[in-house]
Each structure stands twice: as C-alpha cells, then as structure tokens.
Chains A and B, each alone.
Chain A
Amino acid sequence: MDYTIIIGLEVHVQLLTESKMFSACGTDFGLPPNTQTDPVSLGMPGTLPVMNRKAFDLALKTAVALGAEIAAFTKWDRKNYYYPDLPKNYQISQYDLPFSRGGSIPIPVRKDGGGSRVRLTRVHLEEDTGKLTHGTGGFSEVDLNRAGIPLLEIVTEPDIRTVADAKGCLEELRLTLRYLGVSDCEMQEGSLRCDANINLHIPHEGRTVATPIVEIKNLNSFRSVERALQYEAERQYEKWKRDGLTIHDAHKETRGWNDPEGVTKPQRQKETAADYRYFPEPDLVPVEVDEPWIARIRATIGELPTERRQRFESDFGLSAYDANVLVEQGEEVADYFDAVVKATGEAKLASNWIQQDVLRIAKETKVSLAEFPVGAEGLADLINRVKRKELNTNQGREVLAKMIETGEPVDAVIAAGGYGMVSDQGEIVAAIEAAIAANPKAMDDLKGGKKKPEAVKGFLRGQVMKQTGGKADPALVSELLDAKLAELIG
C-alpha cells in the first residue's frame, strides 16, 4: 500500500446560546418533536430574523482562538435549496464574505505521530436545519426543534495525511471548543458533526495519480470517523487498481458511512454550488467588526489546551506525552493536576499518581473526576506524606484505595490502618539479618554466582518488606541491604 491519504474536514458545531440565531426560541436538546419552534424557525411569511449577539460573539471567540483572520466586514447570504429540513427553502449562511478566514488546528503529539498543524480555510456562521426521520408508509417526519440553532461551519484545508491525524485534529478541535465554552461538542447529540473529504495520491509510472474525491457523511462518533476514513482509503485504492479512474475522470462523490455494516455507500448527488443560487440576505444587515471588539473577545479567552501542554512541559518538566495525557481528557483533569502540583510542588509525582491511580480507578469505576471521591486536596495530602517518607508508595496506594472506599481523609485512614513507614535503621538491619539467616540458599546462590546479584537482592528486599509488614522505607532497605551484603561477601 504505497499511497498518501489526503484528508480535509468540514465540521459543524452548535453554539451554546440560550436562544436561536434569529429569534428568542429555545435551543435545548432532546425535547419532543416540534415543541421548540416559533414563527421565525417555522419560516412563516412576514417574519424577520434578528441576529443573536451572543452567537456572533461566540463565533468570533472561536475564530480568534484558532488564529483566524477576522473580517472587518461580513454579511449574510441565502443558500437556496428545496429540502424539507428548512421550511423557508433557503438557509441563512455566509458565502463570499465569511466573518473569518485562515487559522489552524494543532494536532497533538502521539506516540505514533502527530505534531503538525492543519490550516483552516474558513469559519462561518449559519443556521442549523431541522431533522428528518425517514419513516414507513411513504412519509418522512420533520422535526423543526433544531432549525435556527446557531451553527459554526469550520472547514480545513486538505492538510491531513493519516487517519490518526484526522482523529487527532478533530479531538483537539473539540477540546479547544470545550475550553472556550462555545459548544458542548456532543457528537452523539449532534452538537458536533463532521464530514470528511478524502482521496489518495498514488505514485504510478513515475508520476502521482490522484483518485476522485469522496465526501463522507454520517460520521456520528470519533470511532466512526476513524473507521470510515480507513475503510474509504482502502476502498479507493482497490477501486483504482480495478478501473484506474482519477480525479480528472469523475466528479466528487458523496458517500454515507454505514456504521453497523462498516462500509461507505453512495448518496444522492449533491446539487452543485452554483445551483444554490446564493444571494445577499436582504433581511439581515451586514456586520462590521473593529479592533476594540476583537480585543474585547480576545480578553475572554483563557489558557488553551496547546498553551497548557507547553506550560506543563516547560514549567513542570513533564514529557510531551505526559503533558498531553493530562490535557487531552478535558479541563477537569488538567485543573486537578494543577491543584495537586500547587499543593505539593511535585509535578512528576502528581502526574504519576493521577495517571496511574486516579484516572485508572476513575475509569474502572466509571466516574468523572468531579465525582471522584478523593479531591485534589486529598491526593496532595497523600503525596506530601509519601514525599516526607511517612508512607512508602505501596502504602500510599493502599491508603488511596481506602480513602476511595471509605470517603475518609488521609489522617483517618492512616490512624485506622496503622500505616506508617519504618525508617528506623536498627529495626531494618535486624529484619535484613533475619531474612539472610532464614534464606541460606539465597546467600549460596549469590556467592556461587548461580543467580544474578540483582535477582537475589530483589528477593531479599521482598523478604524484609514482608517482615516489616510492608512498612519499611524501600530506599533505606536497599541501601542497608547493599551494605550488609558487601560486608558479608566483600
């Protein structure tokens, strides 16, 4: 399989407003059909749209955060088409003068790649459409609850070269939009929707051949984005090997992802762009955006995921991988980490405890970090005790488990469980001597060179820990054991 995959994404996100884009109608998800409409969303004759200021501000915030250029002058256009998802027979959208152009989405570093940026073509604002359910009996049901909800369309350049990068780009976009608070980005609920354009560049007889572009629709989860792109790349390659058709021989095709069957299937041919007969929307006046407005918006943007990863690396000395694990799971996890570091001054310990214990247990018990029984303060308290050698790491784990189980703070768990690290040299030396005396075979193995010294030492360390009920300071045990063995063997 010697080819390059070329992918561009077209993402739609619903903005988090109280009311629709052009009227005071609500924007809730999951209501019974047609209980969230008003004369404007129904496209009643004589109604007029009035732009929602919040929707425009959230759109600006997104574009500024993505590094896009904001247009000083923007207007609205009618995109005309006959389809029952919009009763007006046109969608209010933006055509030739979108409010923003350019910008980019960073793809976070993964173990198998990432690290590049995907350029944005444009970001524009439009109204969402209603929802059609294809029923039986020759009719489709139309629900207009969603019609008129403010929708941001984000279009990338075809800069993506691997399926994993496509997923990474989309995940980073979702994380950024959630940090910004502009959308809840729930793919299952349709507040984040993604279409993907894909074709292949295949080296053939000394030149590069491009396969026809396919737009894949109906991608309802991150998993389906990944699966559909993988499937489509392989399908295009096999098809090209059979018929040799290139981008010059065929129009762009629209295919829908069928998740249960795991295949893409052809959809109705799109009306071409010219057929939408875009023209300026006479019912909405243009918008002019000046520098003070952009500055006001910029001031509302906090630390973004990319900046946070960089801070975790540069200020805390975390690896790019660790920084990403803590950031990619959302603001909650990164805030938790920040709080633990603040209270302990131990970034690496905090990172290890959160990744290896807190996140693992939260995942196993299926709770979010907000619901996790041990807060940042509790974990910080525990880490401080490990740091002060009041507990060793294994004891710390046990204490954490009990804290989760009982909901008690560190102090109470330690008092009840009789934890406490033995750092008394005399006690440890006595335990070492007892372990050596009880295991003459280990000493013979060591002297006779039958086993590696490290293996024997590991075994003896284990015996010492056992004798002290797991309470001995492991670093001190190692040190004293080494000294003792050196003394015995020389």
Chain B
Amino acid sequence: MSLSRDEVTQVALLARLRLEPEELETFTGQLNQIVEFVAQLQELDTHDIVPLAHGVEVRNVFREDLRGPSLPREAALANAPKRNSESFLVPAVLE
C-alpha cells in the first residue's frame, strides 16, 4: 500500500495544512514510511478477532445529570483571536 501525492494533498486539505511542493514531496515519503511500518500488522491473521473499540477494558462510565456553574462570558471569550462583546468572531461562513 502506498499513498499518492494526490492523497496526501487531500489529507493536507482536510487538516487545513498548506504545503509547498517540496514539503508535499517530503511528507509523501515520510507518510508512506509510516504507513508501511504499520502495514506489517496486516501479516497477522485477525479473522476471528473482535475489533477493539477502546484501549481500556472499562465500560459504562457515567456522571449524574447535575448542573454546575457556567463560565463567565469574559472568561469564555478570553482566548478568542477575534471577538465582539458577546461572541467569537470567525471569517464569514456563507451558506
């Protein structure tokens, strides 16, 4: 299994990464090494093995439905790169 440059371009787009042509070249090579390394697992016969849904063998962890305080708005908005008096601001998203 080998990743093409187009696939890496697509993955970069989904991760919102802008890659220069030479970076694309480097990362395609590196990503392929990683995929090949992991691909060794495919040598194992996993036919009768139930897929692992979680790494920890714990089930049914719940909290009770109790309400605590909310953050003050100023604290909630404190780290926003851009904001107005009541909301986070993001570049216009047009539907």
Q: Kindly state the separation between the CA atoms of A288 and B59 in the bound complex, as whole angstroms.
A: 7
Residues of A within 8 A of B65 (CB): 17-19, 52-55
Interface, chain B (partner A; CB < 8 A): 14, 16, 53-56, 58-68, 70-71, 73, 76-77, 82, 84, 86-95
CB pair A134–B92 under 8 Å, yes or no, is yes
Give chain A's interface secondary structure class.
loop
CB pair B62–A56 under 8 Å, yes or no, is yes
CB pair B92–A139 under 8 Å, yes or no, is yes
CB pair A53–B64 under 8 Å, yes or no, is yes
CB pair B71–A139 under 8 Å, yes or no, is no
Residues of B within 8 A of A285 (CB): 54, 56, 58-61
CB pair B90–A84 under 8 Å, yes or no, is yes
B38 to chain A, nearest CB (A): 14
Give chain B's interface secondary structure class.
loop
Interface, chain A (partner B; CB < 8 A): 17-19, 23-27, 32-39, 42, 50-56, 73, 75, 80, 82-84, 97, 132-135, 138-144, 256, 267-268, 271, 275, 277, 280, 282, 284-288
Residue of B nearest to A150 (CB): B65
Residue of B nearest to A89 (CB): B16
Given A139-B92, A285-B61: A38 touches B68 (CB 8 Å cut-off): yes
CB pair B70–A36 under 8 Å, yes or no, is yes
Residue of B nearest to A288 (CB): B59
CB pair B77–A34 under 8 Å, yes or no, is yes
Of B54, B66, B86, which one neighbours A75 at CB under 8 angstroms? Answer: B54
CB pair A53–B90 under 8 Å, yes or no, is no
Residue of A nearest to B11 (CB): A277
CB pair A139–B86 under 8 Å, yes or no, is no
Knowing that A50-B63, A51-B62, A84-B88 touch, tell me 11 more A-B residue pairs with CB under 8 angstroms: A37-B76, A38-B71, A55-B65, A82-B16, A83-B93, A134-B93, A140-B91, A282-B55, A285-B54, A285-B58, A288-B60
CB pair B73–A35 under 8 Å, yes or no, is yes
CB pair B68–A24 under 8 Å, yes or no, is yes
Q: Kindly state the separation between the CA atoms of A133 and B90 in the bound complex, as whole angstroms.
A: 10
Q: Kindly state the separation between the CA atoms of A35 and B87 in the bound complex, as whole angstroms.
A: 10
CB pair B60–A287 under 8 Å, yes or no, is yes
A96 to chain B, nearest CB (A): 9
Residues of B within 8 A of A143 (CB): 86-87
Residues of B within 8 A of A84 (CB): 88, 90, 93
Residue of A nearest to B59 (CB): A288
Given A140-B90, A141-B88, A282-B54: A267 touches B70 (CB 8 Å cut-off): no
Residues of B within 8 A of A34 (CB): 73, 76-77, 86-88
Given A84-B88, A142-B89: A268 touches B61 (CB 8 Å cut-off): no
Of B16, B58, B60, B94, which one neighbours A134 at CB under 8 angstroms? Answer: B94
CB pair A53–B63 under 8 Å, yes or no, is yes
Given A34-B76, A42-B76: A25 touches B55 (CB 8 Å cut-off): no
Residue of B nearest to A50 (CB): B63
CB pair B14–A275 under 8 Å, yes or no, is yes
Residues of A within 8 A of B62 (CB): 50-53, 56
